[in-house]
Amino acid sequence: MTEPSEMQSECIEAGIMENALVIIVVLDKKGKILAWNHAAESITGYTKAEVIGNTRVWKSLYPDKDYRRSVTAKIAKTLATKNYFKNLETTIRTRSGDSRIILWNTKEITWDSESRIIAVGIDVTRQKETDAFSRSIIDNANVLMTVMVHGKVLLWNKGAESITGYSSDEVVGSGNIWKLLYPDEEYRRTITTWINSIIKERRLFENLDTTITTKKGEKRTIRWNTREITAGAQVRDIAIGSDITLLKQLDAFREVVIENAYILITVLDSKGNILVWNKAAEAITGFTKGEVIGKRDIWKHLYPDTDYRKTITRQIAKILKEERIFENFETTIVTRDGSQKILAWNTREISGGSGTCEIAIARDITEQRRAEEALLAYISEMAMRLKQPVEIIRDNIQEIVDLFREGKLTKEEIITMLGGQVRNATQVAINVQEFQKAIAEKNKEIPEAYRKFLEG
Amino acid sequence: MVMAGIVNPEELARKQIFLVLVSPANMRQRNIDLIREISSLGYHMVVITTNFPYSVLTRLYSDNGIDPKTVSFIDTVTRNSIGSAENIPLIVRYVNNPTNLTDLGIAVTEVLKENTGKKICILYDSVSTMLIYLSSPNISKFIHFVTNKLRLMDISGIFLAAEKGLDPMFVSQLTTFVDRVIDSG
Chain B residues closer than 8 Å to A419 by CB: 81-82
Contact A214, A164 (CB under 8 A): yes
Q: What confidence tens digit (pLDDT) does each residue in B104-163 have?
A: 889 988 998 898 889 999 999 888 888 888 888 888 888 898 899 889 888 999 999 988
User: In which order are the strands placed within the sheet that holds A33-36?
Assistant: A33-36, A23-27, A114-123, A99-111, A88-93
- CA A446 to chain B, closest CA, distance in angstroms equals 21
CA distance B7 to B31: 12
- CA B143 to chain A, closest CA, distance in angstroms equals 17
- CA A284 to chain B, closest CA, distance in angstroms equals 32
Instruction: Give phi and psi for A302, each to the nearest 5.
Output: -75, -30
What secondary structure letter does DSSP report for A420?
A: H
Residue B56 has its nearest CB partner, among A384, A417, A423, at A417
Interface of A with B in 407-436 (CB under 8 A): 408-409, 412-413, 415-417, 419-420, 423-424, 427-428, 431
The closest of A344, A302, A308, A299 to A326, measured between CA atoms, is: A344
Across the interface, whether the CB atoms of A388 and B128 are under 8 A apart is answered yes
For residue B159, how many C-alpha atoms fall within 13 Å in the half-sphere facing its CB?
Answer: 26
Q: Does A380 touch chain B (CB under 8 A)?
A: yes
Q: Which chain B residue has its CA at the smallest distance from A379's CA?
A: B167
Residue A391 has its nearest CB partner, among B24, B28, B77, at B24
- Minimum mean pLDDT range among A127-136, A314-323, B10-19: A314-323
The closest of A356, A278, A363 to A327, measured between CA atoms, is: A363
- CA B55 to chain A, closest CA, distance in angstroms equals 8
Across the interface, whether the CB atoms of A408 and B60 are under 8 A apart is answered yes
What are the start-end ranges of the E strands in A47-181? 88-93, 99-111, 114-123, 144-149, 152-156
Q: Please list the alpha-helical segments (H only) found in chain B.
A: 9-13, 27-39, 54-63, 78-82, 101-114, 127-133, 136-152, 168-177
Q: Between A206 and B92, where is the model more confident? A: B92
pLDDT at residue number B2: 39
Query: Rounded to 10 degrees, what is the CA torsion of B168, B172, B178, B184?
Result: 30
CA–chain centroid gap for A122, Å, is 45
CA distance A375 to A363: 20
Interface probe, candidates B76, B81, B174, chain A, greatest A C-beta count within 10 A: B81
What are the start-end ranges of the E strands in A150-270? 152-156, 208-213, 219-231, 234-243, 264-268
Q: Which chain B residue has its CA at the smallest distance from A385's CA?
A: B131
| Residue B51 pLDDT greater than 50, yes or no | yes
Residue B80 has its nearest CB partner, among A389, A408, A420, at A420
CB A136: neighbour CB atoms within 10 A? 10
Contact A226, A204 (CB under 8 A): yes
Across the interface, whether the CB atoms of A412 and B82 are under 8 A apart is answered yes
Q: What confidence tens digit (pLDDT) does each residue in A72-114 have?
A: 888 888 877 877 888 899 999 999 999 999 999 988 888 777 8
Q: Does A78 touch chain B (CB under 8 A)?
A: no
- CA B44 to chain A, closest CA, distance in angstroms equals 25
The secondary structure element, H or E, covering residue A343 is strand A340-352
Long-range contacts from A82-89, C-beta under 8 angstroms, 24+ separation: A83/A108, A84/A108, A89/A124
pLDDT at residue number A354: 63
CA distance from start to end of chain A: 125
Q: What confidence tens digit (pLDDT) does each residue in A357-368 have?
A: 888 999 999 988
Across the interface, whether the CB atoms of B53 and A416 are under 8 A apart is answered yes
| Residue A3 pLDDT greater than 70, yes or no | no
Chain A residues closer than 8 Å to B131 by CB: 384-385, 388-389
Chain B residues closer than 8 Å to A391 by CB: 24, 162, 165
Q: What confidence tens digit (pLDDT) does each residue in A152-170 have?
A: 888 899 999 999 999 999 9
* Omega prior to B126 cis, within 30 of 0: yes
Q: Specify burial of residue A361 (Cβ count, 10 A radius: 0-12, 13-18, 19+).
A: buried
Mean pLDDT score, A175-193: 89
User: In which order are the strands placed within the sheet that holds B180-183?
Assistant: B92-94, B71-75, B44-49, B120-125, B156-162, B17-22, B180-183
Contact A174, A156 (CB under 8 A): no
Predicted TM-score of the model (pTM):
0.51
Across the interface, whether the CB atoms of B132 and A427 are under 8 A apart is answered yes
Q: What confidence tens digit (pLDDT) does each residue in A25-51 have?
A: 998 878 889 999 999 999 999 999 999
Q: Does B84 touch chain A (CB under 8 A)?
A: no
| Residue A1 pLDDT greater than 70, yes or no | no
At A437, the pLDDT band (50, 70, 90 cuts) reads confident
Contact A214, A165 (CB under 8 A): yes
Torsional class of B15: left (φ above 0), alpha (ψ -120 to 50), beta (otherwise) = left
CA distance A420 to B49: 12
CA distance B142 to B105: 9
- CA A362 to chain B, closest CA, distance in angstroms equals 32
